[in-house]
């Protein structure tokens, strides 16, 4: 599970503790287009790592980059040929690069890179090209044959197939379709399901496989495309000799190289187990790996590389390929270690029915990490916190690892300084002041609590299907984790533990959270559309619920000042009580698998948008010129070898631009995209 960055962009960060001084000259912004800003992030402490740790990171970085094509193909089966085509046009173009059509083409290509395909990474809507079909056709026809995507017999066959995919709004309109009143599988463009497969068929297929009494079920469908062959539903597995084999073989190669530099036997063991899983595609082996990985809390260098999160699947089962390479930020980890050492206290005192609490919280390990490489679905847009593994029974029996990506959070914050957000949206000077002083730390604490305790808390009643909440599973899980974090942010326990030094600090995060959930996150939504993404739904669900339930006591209000709407919190203590009440109910829904109640909660609070308020937010935002979405380019690592071919050092550089990086990745790390020379004719 991951925690995404909320839409709110932090402005002036006064309580900035990290290594601010050396950062002054670091240039965070790399590129800007459409609704996107691309940043770079610094990797403080990399130079000081031991040569072995640097070498390990180098090979893990390679293992992250060679998997890139997998997520492109998973997102939509036309993504790789379209990428080849766009990059071919871009590099071969002989005309005026300042023409309107070419500029629009370049913007579209940058959007496609950012979405790892033709759909927006967040809304999952298909991008709308700003250039004409005629311009596009002309450019395709001018391409040398070797620049065409593989598998097409001629320039014309490329146009015949791909023009509707790019230009026709009705074709492949949405990557993840979530309107539960229609078939979410048939209406999604994701390549997790083959052509002609229906939701009913997929559900029937897995219902037959699942044993409700199995206490340690595999994660059904996690690494499989479901297809229909001769009328039969079957799975195609992602494995060495299966789907994505050419990419997986390179991942295995680099993981094996990285393993030579592993820090200890526990790390060696989980890496061997991961490789074994990649070879066989056996989900039992994935569970074995996940347990070994969760239990290794000693290694400083750590990574995720695999099919992990299932937000991209309308049914929440099949996972997108991603990679995070990182190392521990030892000073900042003290904070999360205190929290995880007290996990049982938080569980025992949570405002949920005791029968839904975990009697024994197992090994929630939490650390703050420095991201060194983002890959696959975590690139260019990334989460700021992760908690894995996802399987409930593994979390209960073996614990989980929760991480906060501090150098990423810091890059977001640094790039947002002085952007005028607070002045426009925050109701008054005292609220602004507490946010200036405490938002950075309480925001990180919110991530720590969400990941480390929230996702790990509570228990599911025996016999309840972990997928019982169906299309609302992700939203309600995120709701639960956020509520847990919100509830405890205001707890005196945090002062007692020495994590916060002001009993009012939590107000900074409370205000930001409601402002975001009620208003400012609407900036990410196009006029007329509903809220769809799981984290956004969760934030609106919580915010609207407390607004409504607190109406009688005026706990929270939306007030007007000079024609502008503001969030006004009148009673922070009662607000905390409301968060606690909702947490109790959401935990009950999750524990009992109460789909009907979950469905009602989501539909009543999480989805619908007040059109008038939406327009106001968009208008006010547009004056500020703050990009709704941000992501990153990776630093570039270069290995220094001795004459025997061993790595003696690894250097890091930050100067590569967005377009250069994307073109280099496609050129040097393409494992699945075929050029015409190797495609069938």
For Zn ion, the closer CB: 225 or 450: 450
What x/- string results for residues 437 through 476 when contact with Zn ion is judged by CB under 5 A? ----------------------------------------
What x/- string results for residues 607 through 646 when contact with Zn ion is judged by CB under 5 A? ----------------------------------------
For residues 314 and 185, the answer to whether their CB atoms sit within 8 Å is yes
Least Å distance, CB 614 to Zn ion, is 25
Least Å distance, CB 337 to Zn ion, is 20
For Zn ion, the closer CB: 3 or 472: 3
Least Å distance, CB 444 to Zn ion, is 15
DSSP 238: B
For Zn ion, the closer CB: 483 or 650: 483
SS3 115: helix
Question: Would you call the peptide bond into 202 cis, given omega within 30 degrees of 0 as the criterion?
Answer: no
3 binds Zn ion (CB under 5 A): yes
Least Å distance, CB 3 to Zn ion, is 5
Give the contacts of 90 (CB within 8 A, at least 6 positions apart): 105, 106, 109, 663
590 binds Zn ion (CB under 5 A): no
366 binds Zn ion (CB under 5 A): no
Least Å distance, CB 481 to Zn ion, is 5
- Which residue stretch of 2-10, 23-31, 321-329, 499-507 sits at the interface with Zn ion (rule: CB under 5 A)? 2-10
Question: Would you call the peptide bond into 389 cis, given omega within 30 degrees of 0 as the criterion?
Answer: yes
> What's the CA gap between 445 and 229, in Å, rounded?
49
For Zn ion, the closer CB: 378 or 481: 481
For residues 303 and 60, the answer to whether their CB atoms sit within 8 Å is yes
Least Å distance, CB 385 to Zn ion, is 7
> What's the CA gap between 679 and 681, in Å, rounded?
6
For Zn ion, the closer CB: 124 or 475: 475
State CA 349 to chain mean position distance.
30
What x/- string results for residues 232 through 251 when contact with Zn ion is judged by CB under 5 A? --------------------
Least Å distance, CB 395 to Zn ion, is 13
Give how many residues touch Zn ion by CB under 5 A: 4
Give the contacts of 491 (CB within 8 A, at least 6 positions apart): none
| End-to-end C-alpha distance for the chain, whole angstroms | 43
For residues 390 and 475, the answer to whether their CB atoms sit within 8 Å is no
For Zn ion, the closer CB: 80 or 481: 481
For Zn ion, the closer CB: 143 or 476: 476
Least Å distance, CB 4 to Zn ion, is 8
Least Å distance, CB 466 to Zn ion, is 16
DSSP 149: B
551 token code pair? 């109406």
Least Å distance, CB 388 to Zn ion, is 11
For residues 66 and 669, the answer to whether their CB atoms sit within 8 Å is yes
> What's the CA gap between 525 and 537, in Å, rounded?
12
For Zn ion, the closer CB: 117 or 458: 458
Which residues, numbered 475-494, are part of the site for Zn ion (CB under 5 A)? 478, 481
For Zn ion, the closer CB: 431 or 587: 587
> What's the CA gap between 230 and 188, in Å, rounded?
22
Least Å distance, CB 450 to Zn ion, is 6
Going by C-alpha positions, the residue among 505, 504, 454 that lies closest to residue 480 is: 454
Least Å distance, CB 189 to Zn ion, is 25
For Zn ion, the closer CB: 288 or 477: 477
- Which residue stretch of 3-11, 406-414, 422-430, 663-671 sits at the interface with Zn ion (rule: CB under 5 A)? 3-11
Least Å distance, CB 308 to Zn ion, is 13
SS3 503: coil
Least Å distance, CB 456 to Zn ion, is 11
For Zn ion, the closer CB: 1 or 414: 1
Q: What angle do CA 394, 395, 401 make, to 5 degrees?
A: 115
For Zn ion, the closer CB: 538 or 591: 538
For residues 443 and 385, the answer to whether their CB atoms sit within 8 Å is no
For Zn ion, the closer CB: 1 or 292: 1
For residues 97 and 141, the answer to whether their CB atoms sit within 8 Å is no
- Which residue stretch of 1-9, 234-242, 280-288, 412-420 sits at the interface with Zn ion (rule: CB under 5 A)? 1-9
For Zn ion, which residue has the nearest CB? Answer: 1
Q: What are phi and psi of 6, to 5 degrees?
A: -70, 165
DSSP string computed for 336-390: HHHHHHTHHHHHHTSSS-GGGS-SS---EEEEEEEEEEEEETTSSS--SEEEE--
Going by C-alpha positions, the residue among 665, 674, 671, 673 that lies closest to residue 113 is: 665
- Is the Cα dihedral 549, 553, 555, 557 positive or negative? positive
For Zn ion, the closer CB: 3 or 358: 3
Kindly report the number of other CB atoms within 10 A of residue 257's CB atom. 17
> What's the CA gap between 385 and 679, in Å, rounded?
40
SS3 308: strand
1 binds Zn ion (CB under 5 A): yes
For Zn ion, the closer CB: 1 or 435: 1
Going by C-alpha positions, the residue among 520, 517, 508 that lies closest to residue 479 is: 517
Least Å distance, CB 455 to Zn ion, is 6
The binding site for Zn ion (CB under 5 A) comprises 1, 3, 478, 481
């Amino acid at each position: 599970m991951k925690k995404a960055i909320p839409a709110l962009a932090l402005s002036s960060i006064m309580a900035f503790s990290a290594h601010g001084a050396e950062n002054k000259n670091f240039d965070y912004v790399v590129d800007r287009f459409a609704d996107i800003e691309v940043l770079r992030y610094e990797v403080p402490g990399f130079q000081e790592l031991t040569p072995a740790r640097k070498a390990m990171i180098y090979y893990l970085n390679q293992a992250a980059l060679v998997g890139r094509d997998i997520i492109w193909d998973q997102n939509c089966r036309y993504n790789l040929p379209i990428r080849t085509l766009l990059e071919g046009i871009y590099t071969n173009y002989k005309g005026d690069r300042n023409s309107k059509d070419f500029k629009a083409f370049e913007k579209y290509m940058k959007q496609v890179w950012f979405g790892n395909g033709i759909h927006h990474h967040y809304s999952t809507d298909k991008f709308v090209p700003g250039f004409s079909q005629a311009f596009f056709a002309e450019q395709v026809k001018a391409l040398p044959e070797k620049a065409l995507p593989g598998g097409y017999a001629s320039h014309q066959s490329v146009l015949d197939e791909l023009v509707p995919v790019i230009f026709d709004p009705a074709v492949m309109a949405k990557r993840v379709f979530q309107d539960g009143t229609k078939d979410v599988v048939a209406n999604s463009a994701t390549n997790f399901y083959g052509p002609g497969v229906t939701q009913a068929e997929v559900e029937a297929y897995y219902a037959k496989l699942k044993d409700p009494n199995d206490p340690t079920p595999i994660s059904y469908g996690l690494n499989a495309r479901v297809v229909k062959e001769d009328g039969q539903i079957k799975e195609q597995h992602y494995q060495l000799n299966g789907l994505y084999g050419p990419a997986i073989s390179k991942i295995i190669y680099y993981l094996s190289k990285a393993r030579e530099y592993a820090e200890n036997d526990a790390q060696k063991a989980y890496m061997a187990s991961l490789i074994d899983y990649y070879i066989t595609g056996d989900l039992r082996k994935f569970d074995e790996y996940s347990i070994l990985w969760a239990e290794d809390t000693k290694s400083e260098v750590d990574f995720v590389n695999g099919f992990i999160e299932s937000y991209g699947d309308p049914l929440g089962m099949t996972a997108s390929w991603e990679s995070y390479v990182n190392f521990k930020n030892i000073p900042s980890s003290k904070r999360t270690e205190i929290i995880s050492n007290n996990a049982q206290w938080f569980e025992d005192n949570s405002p949920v029915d005791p029968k839904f609490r975990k009697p024994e919280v197992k090994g929630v390990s939490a650390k703050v990490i420095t991201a060194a490489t983002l890959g696959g679905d975590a690139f260019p847009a990334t989460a700021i916190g992760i908690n894995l593994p996802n399987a409930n029974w593994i979390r209960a029996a073996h614990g989980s690892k929760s991480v906060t990506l501090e150098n990423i959070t810091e890059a977001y914050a640094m790039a947002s300084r002085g952007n005028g957000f607070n002045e426009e949206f925050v109701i008054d000077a005292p609220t602004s002041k507490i946010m200036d002083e405490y938002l950075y730390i309480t925001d990180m604490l919110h991530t720590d609590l969400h990941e480390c305790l929230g996702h790990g808390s509570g228990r599911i009643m025996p016999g309840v299907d972990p997928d019982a909440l169906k299309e609302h599973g992700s939203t309600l899980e995120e709701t639960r984790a956020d509520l847990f974090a919100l509830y405890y942010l205001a707890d005196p326990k945090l002062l007692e533990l020495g994590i916060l030094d002001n009993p009012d600090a939590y107000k900074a995060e409370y205000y930001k959270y409601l402002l975001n959930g009620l208003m400012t996150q609407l900036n990410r939504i196009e006029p007329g559309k509903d809220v769809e993404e799981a984290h956004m739904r969760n934030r609106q669900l919580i915010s609207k619920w407390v607004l409504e339930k607190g109406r009688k006591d005026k706990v929270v209000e939306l007030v007007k000042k000079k024609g502008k709407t503001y969030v006004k919190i009148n009673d922070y203590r009662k607000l905390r009580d409301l968060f606690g009440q909702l947490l109790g109910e959401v935990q009950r829904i999750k524990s009992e698998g109460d789909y009907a109640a979950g469905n009602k909660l989501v539909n009543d609070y999480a989805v619908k948008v007040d059109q008038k308020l939406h327009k106001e937010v968009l208008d006010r935002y547009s004056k500020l010129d703050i990009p709704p979405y941000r992501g990153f380019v990776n630093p570039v690592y270069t290995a220094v070898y001795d004459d025997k071919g061993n790595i003696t050092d690894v250097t890091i550089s930050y100067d590569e631009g967005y377009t250069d990086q994307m073109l280099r990745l496609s050129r040097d790390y393409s494992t699945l995209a075929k050029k015409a020379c190797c495609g069938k004719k």
